[in-house]
Copies of this chain bind each other. A is one copy, B any other.
Amino acid sequence: VLSAYLLEHASVIFSAMAGVLAARGKNVDLFGVIVLGLVNAVGGGTLRDVMLDAPVFWVRDANFVLSSTFAAVTMFFLARVAHPDPKWLLLPDALGLALVTMLGTAKAAQLGHATSVCVVMGVTTGVAGGVLRDVLCGEIPLVFRKNIYLYATAAALGAGAYLAAKGLGAGEAIALTIGAGVVLILRWLAVRRRIGLPEFRLSSDGHVPTNE
């Protein structure tokens, strides 16, 4: 339980730092950067808790606010000196997605909700923070785009794998490991082989040439 808490903290801190990088080229000041970091870090879990009518996790445990604010401010100054190669972010980001999705799915499952609701809550915890961050930056959410390579889909299938393992009688730790493994493997395969979901096209798109 303690290690789960530390992992959750590590994941929130990492997300806060990643959220800061999204502010690049947006003329955003230090306050904006802190908000974008906090939203990226705790936005998904906040939405999940509000929809589940559970106490919001960072309202209950203020350490999350303190550590993600600290992480965002650190990143704000760090980014002026060193500019991380985006490739280095891929692994911790995938680990964070896997962990946060599992925690969100498990929380909904513990409250006794239906499978589909648990999957929605897991995916929401994993990706909604980034969606809110992108909306605040005035952009169409990155997670909706084909070149994100199975980000939310990996989260949804991992949540499903966790719930299936639980349904087949697996213990909590084993089910969580299976679910997180599914997220990581899918994400790794998708990035490596550039696998994406099909994009939305209307039938008319092929017939009428436009200059849109």
Contacts and interface: CB of A to CB of B under 8 A. Distances in A.
The main secondary structure of chain A at its interface with chain B is: helix
B200 A144 contact: no
A69 B117 CA distance: 12
A111 B10 CA distance: 28
This chain: how many copies in the complex?
A: 3
Interface residues of A, number: 66
Contacts of A31: 143-144, 151-153, 197
A177 interface: no
A32 B141 contact: yes
Interface string A58-85: 1100100110010000001001111100
Interface of A: 20, 23-33, 35-36, 38, 46, 50-53, 55-56, 58-59, 62, 65-66, 69, 76, 79-83, 113-117, 120, 131, 135-141, 143-146, 148, 151-153, 196-204, 212
